[in-house]
Amino acid sequence: MIKKLKKYLDFKLIGILSLVYLLFVIIYSSKNAYLRVLVQRKTDWGEFVFGNVLDWCLITIFMVFIAITTKYLMSKKTKLILIALIHLFFSFFIGAFTIGVSLGVDILRDPSVKFSFEELCISFIRLVDLHFLIYISLVALIYMYYYLKKVEESKIQTIKLQEQLSKSQLKFLQSQMHPHFLFNTLNGIHSLMDINIEKSKSMVVDLSDLLRNVLDKKDDNLIELQEELEILKKYIQIKKTRFSDQLNIHLNTEAGLENVLVPNMLIQPIVENSTKHGYSDNHISLDIFISIYKKNENLVIKVENNGTALKDTLSELLKKGTGLSNIKERLLTLYKENHELSIDNSNNKVVTKISFPIELSISEIEKDY
């Protein structure tokens, strides 16, 4: 029985009801005390204080019962009309309860106390409107409490669902990224086999090392920048093996950003696009400049190449390729609108720029403390 009651008992709510009614008792008793002094009415102040404390205790006990009843009715999804009738009944019963218990306490304290049924009825009628308003006010507070609690729980549930959805979406996008990257690299090895078998063998070894790193991080949506650069450098080595002196990649990273979290395999697809679309009959050699730095509270990753100029806008490019659209989707999932992705022609270079808020890894945060 007690276990069942605990299920419907909210101690925080009881505390709120108790404090609210205590405030009412203080205001009400202060008013009565002032009026008694004003009209010079003879008062037993000990009895006066005892009566108000007893009243507070009785109403608090009664409201515990009402809070349990209300939670029970809500859990059983009772019809609104029935709930209204139950509360209407208890709104009148509260007066009878307090008067009856108060009388019982008076008799226990002084068995010679005399009373009549008529006096009890007069006491009940005299306070019925006050008890009704007290009851309705406290019940309204109970429903407001449960409503706000439900709203808060709904918000938490919505956030959890959004997080689950975001994680699922990121897993899908990442799983899409790996075969895309792998197929492109294998195509590069295949192309090189007819030209230089030794280099193609070296690329297979480099690819094996790279895949080991990639697979180690395959379940991580965010990794430290130093880990991302480690994967990128292995990928660059594969590219340089294939293109030899026709490809120069320059990496410049601002110091102190090693532990900043970045989306897994963020830079590699951009470098891939630079080599894939940068070469042409007029651009047989390619320079790629990768700059990573902090600007305000954002991490900026800028990749420039001096290859073939763009002919399409960003929106058109997002519709065409997997790599760039995948990056955009992941940035949107992780950072909502609080990120930037741009790609355009500037100073005879194709410039891809990504910016998003800086977030340190947990290990780095703990080290600071």
Condensed to tens digits (0 to 9), the pLDDT of residues 229-283 reads 988 888 888 777 777 778 888 999 999 999 999 988 888 888 888 888 888 777 7
Note whether 350 and 224 are same-domain residues.
yes
- Segments in 244-361 forming alpha helices (H): 268-278, 314-320, 322-335
Mean pLDDT value across the chain: 79
Residue 346 has pLDDT above 80, yes or no: yes
Which has the minimum average pLDDT: 20-29, 308-317, 357-366? 357-366
Rounded distance, CA 263 to CA 252, Å? Answer: 19
pLDDT band, residue 181 (cuts 50/70/90): low
Rounded distance, CA 310 to CA 308, Å? Answer: 7
Note whether 196 and 76 are same-domain residues.
no
Rounded distance, CA 156 to CA 293, Å? Answer: 35
Spatial CA neighbour of 232 closest among 206, 255, 197: 206
Both tokens assigned to 201: 């063998």
Both tokens assigned to 130: 């006050």
Both tokens assigned to 153: 């729980």
Total count of domains within the chain: 2
Q: Which amino acid would we find at residue 326?
A: N
- The helix/strand/coil state of 287 is strand
More confident residue, 111 or 295: 295
Answer whether residue 143 is part of any domain.
no
Answer whether residue 189 is part of any domain.
yes
Using an 8 Å Cβ cutoff, are 105 and 54 in contact?
yes
Rounded distance, CA 215 to CA 33, Å? Answer: 78
Using an 8 Å Cβ cutoff, are 304 and 273 in contact?
no
Answer whether residue 247 is part of any domain.
yes
Rounded distance, CA 306 to CA 349, Å? Answer: 5
- Helix (H) / strand (E) element for 31: namely helix 11-38
Note whether 86 and 214 are same-domain residues.
no
Both tokens assigned to 97: 């309860």
Q: Which amino acid would we find at residue 285?
A: S
Answer whether residue 96 is part of any domain.
yes
Q: Which domain holds residue 255?
A: 181-368
Spatial CA neighbour of 70 closest among 60, 59, 84, 58: 84
Spatial CA neighbour of 275 closest among 286, 266, 289: 286
Q: What is the pLDDT of residues 199-244, one digit of tens each?
A: 777 778 877 877 777 777 766 778 899 988 988 888 888 777 777 7
Rounded distance, CA 353 to CA 304, Å? Answer: 9
Note whether 200 and 316 are same-domain residues.
yes
Note whether 98 and 185 are same-domain residues.
no
Answer whether residue 144 is part of any domain.
no
Note whether 356 and 250 are same-domain residues.
yes
Using an 8 Å Cβ cutoff, are 340 and 355 in contact?
yes
Note whether 90 and 189 are same-domain residues.
no
Which has the minimum average pLDDT: 252-256, 309-313, 365-369? 365-369
So what's the pLDDT on residue 366?
A: 45
Q: Which amino acid would we find at residue 278?
A: G
More confident residue, 108 or 346: 346
* The last residue of a domain, from among 85, 115, 145: 115
Note whether 318 and 213 are same-domain residues.
yes
N- to C-terminal Cα separation, the chain? 49
Note whether 90 and 211 are same-domain residues.
no
Highest mean pLDDT among 94-108, 138-152, 284-298, 307-321: 284-298
So what's the pLDDT on residue 274?
A: 86
Note whether 103 and 216 are same-domain residues.
no
So what's the pLDDT on residue 90?
A: 82
Burial of 44 (0-12, 13-18, 19+ CB in 10 A): exposed
Answer whether residue 80 is part of any domain.
yes
**How many Å separate Cα 151 from the centre of its chain?**
14
Answer whether residue 197 is part of any domain.
yes
Instruction: Kindly report the CATH number assigned to the domain that includes residue 262.
Output: 3.30.565.10
Note whether 191 and 334 are same-domain residues.
yes
Residue 174 has pLDDT above 60, yes or no: no
Answer whether residue 142 is part of any domain.
no
* The last residue of a domain, from among 68, 87, 115: 115
* The last residue of a domain, from among 66, 88, 115: 115
Note whether 252 and 357 are same-domain residues.
yes
Rounded distance, CA 200 to CA 24, Å? Answer: 86
More confident residue, 167 or 25: 25
